[in-house]
Amino acid sequence: MARSEVTIDLAALRANVRRLSTLAAPAELWAVVKADGYGHGAVDCGRAALDAGATTLCVATVGEALELRAQLPEPRLLVLGPTGAADVATAREARLELTVGDGEVPVDVPVHLKLDTGMGRWGTRVLGEVPANVVGLMTHFATSDTDLDFARGQLTRFLEATEAHAGLTRHTANSAATLRLPEARLDAVRCGIALYGISPFGTDAADDGLTPVLGWRSELASVRNLAPGQSTGYGRRFVATEETWIGTVPVGYADGFRRGLTGTRVLVAGEACEVVGTVSMDAFAVRLPGKLPVGTEVTLVGAGVPLEAHARVLGTIAYELATGLRANPARTRRLVQGLSPEGGLSRSSPARGASNVRTGPDSVGGSP
């Protein structure tokens, strides 16, 4: 039996796409669904993004694109990462578009040339001859979430380098730049994390009119009273100094609730409670306000408990937590809501190997 439930609310994702599309207009919105839709399910989220107005789906690898193409035969699919020569023929057959930053430009496949204007990872620093099969020119911002001046410098370098090719599709803006750097929106924006209602700035996504797509719930599997001097968990990291009610939640780092999340807060029956002791592979402990019954609902991620808050405790970013969530069907029930905007149930592949339970239409019911 599943010990927790992950909810993916596609109605929220569609709302985020519409919000970002309105903000970016007249630029197109391209939805980034790499890393299995940032852990949310690439096929379901990709289809929902297209329903809401996205015109292209972007992934990191040819393999990711092929998984999408098997379920989504029509849309444009852009591979953002480097592609080996051995994959070009496969990409051509699957009607993929490729990004090229270094080396030879393959023929007979649509190509986007990537300029390195300051990220310093990959991409050409000098734009030479542009072959006829190049359909787009792009760059990637290093600091659009933290240092807009540096990002503006990157944009200036990109625009100067591509001025003679303004007839091609030029795209530079990620989620942060779409929200904060309007001059970078150009012909298309590539939005990833913001689609899923997660702030690229580590703040409250609602500040930018975004709604979280992912929710995660469990329940109290055990409740016990600790007397002063008694402890809970490995290493006795929590020792009671007074009579303390402790609840055990049957979720741990094997599910993606990271070991470093001691000290974060979750909601137990709607009340914020501190995670105490050591997060183990299959369970963690929370300090309760009093005795509560076994089976009391615990919200791990949702309204009042955003991923961004857990990320701050870990000293990381919410992207890492979302992509690290493991919805193993032997442990976790996965519920995908609002698959079809018309109210029917769309076909979909199982997300991340999980057994999906789907509901429609665009209901938000219980999902953050």
What tens digit of pLDDT does each residue of 252-310 get?
999 999 999 999 999 999 999 999 999 999 999 999 999 999 999 999 999 999 999 99
- Short-list 119, 175, 179, CA closest to 151: 119
CA distances from 249 to 70, 179, 302, 309 (A): 38, 37, 16, 19
User: Domains of the chain: which residue ranges?
Assistant: 10-199, 220-324
Q: Please state which of the four CATH numbers 2.40.37.10, 3.30.300.90, 3.40.190.10, 1.10.150.120 is assigned to the domain occupying 220-324.
A: 2.40.37.10
pLDDT > 70 in the chain, percent: 92
* pTM (2 d.p.): 0.90
Q: Per-residue DSSP letters for 282-351? A: S-EEEE-SS---TT-EEEEEBTTB-HHHHHHHHTS-HHHHHHH----TTTEEEEEE---TTSS----PPG
Q: How many angstroms separate the CA atoms of 251 and 281, rounded? A: 8
Task: Please give the backbone phi and psi of residue 9, each rounded to the nearest 5 degrees, phi first.
Answer: -100, 100
| Mean pLDDT value across residues 7-20 | 98
Task: Please give the backbone phi and psi of residue 336, each rounded to the nearest 5 degrees, phi first.
Answer: -110, 120
CATH no. for 10-199 = 3.20.20.10
Cα torsion angle, 304, 306, 310, 316, sign = negative
The catalytic site residues sit at: 34, 234
pLDDT value for 102? 85
- Short-list 352, 355, 345, CA closest to 10: 345
What tens digit of pLDDT does each residue of 73-106 get?
999 999 999 998 899 999 999 999 999 998 889 9
- To the nearest 10 degrees (0 to 180), the angle between helices 10-24 and 42-51 is 50
Pull the structure tokens for residue 267: 């909601």
Pull the structure tokens for residue 125: 């620093």
pLDDT value for 361? 35
- Short-list 235, 312, 316, 221, CA closest to 276: 235
Q: Kindly report the three-state secondary structure assignment for every residue of 25-66.
A: CCCEEEEECHHHHHCCCHHHHHHHHHHCCCCEEEECCHHHHH
Residue 368 confidence (pLDDT) above 90: no
Beta bridge partners of 164: none
Over the chain, what is the mean pLDDT? 92
- Short-list 203, 200, 183, 201, CA closest to 191: 200
pLDDT value for 339? 80
| Mean pLDDT value across residues 204-213 | 96
User: Contact at 8 Å (CB) between 191 and 32?
Assistant: yes
What residues contact residue 163 under an 8 Å CB cut-off, 6+ apart? none
299: left (phi over 0), alpha (psi -120 to 50) or beta: beta
